Amino acid sequence: MVGGVEVESKYRIECSEMEYIEAALRDAGLYLEGERLEVDIYYRHPCRDMLSRDEALRLRVYEDNGGRLTYKGPRMGGGFKAREEVEIELTRVEEARLLLARLGFEETLVVRKRRKYYRGEGVLVTLDNVESLGCFVEVEAEDPGGIEMLESLLKLEDRRVDETYAEMALKNMGRRGDEAHRDREG
Amino acid sequence: MVGGVEVESKYRIECSEMEYIEAALRDAGLYLEGERLEVDIYYRHPCRDMLSRDEALRLRVYEDNGGRLTYKGPRMGGGFKAREEVEIELTRVEEARLLLARLGFEETLVVRKRRKYYRGEGVLVTLDNVESLGCFVEVEAEDPGGIEMLESLLKLEDRRVDETYAEMALKNMGRRGDEAHRDREG
């Protein structure tokens, strides 16, 4: 995230392409800022269906038990994803998880991913290997020009996906549910 | 707070007694751990009336813009106040305040106080000068024995109050509302 409003775009890639993309990023002057396992817990609000309002409340847990709690507002439309983000840093996530539970929030789904961050002038590129969902590249920039430049550099045109991991994971759960149903019926 | 469950007791004093009480605490071997202005913002939950459930969600703001977000569960009864506390530390409170607003939480009231902390073996004594409410001593201990010892040392027997500052402030607001109403009627 570069400011209070995030301009970003996400692309689906084959996991086998990861190496080539990392080389291209390094050649373009970006540097590997960090790599880690991230576990994202998404919450349901007790009063309103956050998904249908295009909102999200997410607790991100790092390997060292630090993390962050993030609210994402509805997408504002336009070519790139732009939505409000409000985020608080947490030195320990366990208290935050307990506090959310006490306030009645329910954990709806969990997304696990191995994530690498590459940073450059005004841009942040994130490479994700997401459990059950595959591999993705996310590009965040201060302006749409930065995103277009990287899109072209990494040959990502026409591979854009607009769904969030939470939406994909929910769909996946539905599909697995259907398959289990078919298996029982068949 | 000494553990996950807090055993504490609160007493109303005259503000003019503060000096004598501080001297008695120092004589008993407690030391002044800190002094600061604290602004407590209490929240209403959009789905449930937290006050009637004897719960509280409180954002505490320090002078340096750091703070903590605390959930307090219903009081468990018994001679001393015992209730679950879940707390997260915040390096900046502004994002937390915005995040709560985005999730639909409403700020119901604000309590400002000048607070001094005195710490001793297994006990914490807090001296409060609360805007519009007066002066108070709060005693927290690992066990009821520690509280009884301090109660006797500071001559606080029969001065215990069970109401929280939030409850007192709410009552005060009601009273001020009544007076304004009488003034208009009279």
Q: What is the pLDDT of residues B19-46, one digit of tens each?
A: 999 999 999 999 999 999 999 999 988 7
**Statement: residue B15 has pLDDT above 90:** yes
- Residue B148: is it exposed, middle or buried by C-beta count within 10 angstroms (0-12/13-18/19+)? middle
Chain B from 134 to 153: CB within 8 A of any A CB? none
Q: Report DSSP letters for B120-180, one per residue.
A: ETTEEEEEEEETTTEEEEEEEESSHHHHHHHHHHTT-TT-EE---HHHHHHHHHHHHHHHH
Residue B185: its H or E element: helix B165-185
* Alpha-carbon distances of B47 from A43, A51, A101, B133, rounded to whole Å: 16, 18, 14, 29
Over residues A17-28, the pLDDT tens digits come to 999 999 999 999
B14 touches chain A (CB under 8 A): no
Residues 6 or more apart from B152 whose CB is under 8 A from it? none
Residue B142 lies in domain: 5-185
Q: Identify the pLDDT of residue A105.
A: 92
Where are any strands of DSSP class E within B31-80? Answer: 31-44, 56-61, 67-72
Over residues A144-160, the pLDDT tens digits come to 888 888 999 999 989 99
pLDDT band at B3 (very low <50, low <70, confident <90, very high): very low
Written as six digits, the tokens of B130 are 């609360």
A29 touches chain B (CB under 8 A): no
pLDDT band at B2 (very low <50, low <70, confident <90, very high): very low
Written as six digits, the tokens of B173 are 């607001």
Q: Identify the pLDDT of residue A68.
A: 95
Q: Identify the pLDDT of residue B115.
A: 96
Query: What is the rounded distance in angstroms from the CA atom of residue B39 to the CA atom of residue B36?
Result: 10
Query: What is the rounded distance in angstroms from the CA atom of residue A122 to the CA atom of residue A107?
Result: 34
- Inter-chain touch A88–B99, beta carbons under 8 Å: yes
pLDDT band at A143 (very low <50, low <70, confident <90, very high): confident
Residues 6 or more apart from B73 whose CB is under 8 A from it? A102, B54, B55, B83, B84, B85, B86
- Inter-chain touch B103–A46, beta carbons under 8 Å: no
Enumerate the β-bridge partners of residue B54. Answer: none
Min CA distance, B131 vs chain A (Å)?
Answer: 28
Over residues A69-125, the pLDDT tens digits come to 999 998 876 656 678 899 999 989 999 999 999 998 999 899 999 999 999 988 999
Q: Which of A106, A88, A109 is nearest to A47 (CA)?
A: A106
User: Can you tell me whether residue B82 is helix, strand or coil?
Assistant: strand
Where are any strands of DSSP class E within chain A? Answer: 5-13, 31-44, 56-61, 67-72, 81-90, 106-120, 123-130, 134-141, 160-161
Residue of B1, B89, B94, B95 to mutate for A, most A C-beta atoms under 10 A: B95
- Inter-chain touch B91–A89, beta carbons under 8 Å: yes
- Inter-chain touch B99–A45, beta carbons under 8 Å: no
Q: Identify the pLDDT of residue A6.
A: 57
Over residues B74-133, the pLDDT tens digits come to 887 665 667 889 999 998 999 999 999 999 899 989 999 999 999 998 899 999 999 999
| Total domains, chain A | 1
Mark residue B82 as left, alpha or beta (left: phi above 0; alpha: psi -120 to 50; beta: remaining). beta
- Chain B: residue nearest A96 by CA? B88
Q: Which of A102, A95, A105 is nearest to B54 (CA)?
A: A102
Residue of A99, A100, A105, A106 to mutate for B, most B C-beta atoms under 10 A: A99
CA B181 to chain centre: 29
Q: Identify the pLDDT of residue A147.
A: 87
- Inter-chain touch A86–B104, beta carbons under 8 Å: no
* CATH code for the domain in which residue A117 is found: 2.40.320.10
User: Can you tell me whether residue A182 is helix, strand or coil?
Assistant: helix
A99 touches chain B (CB under 8 A): yes
* Count of other CB atoms within 10 angstroms of residue B55: 19
Residue type at A23? A
Q: Identify the pLDDT of residue B64.
A: 85
- Inter-chain touch B96–A104, beta carbons under 8 Å: no
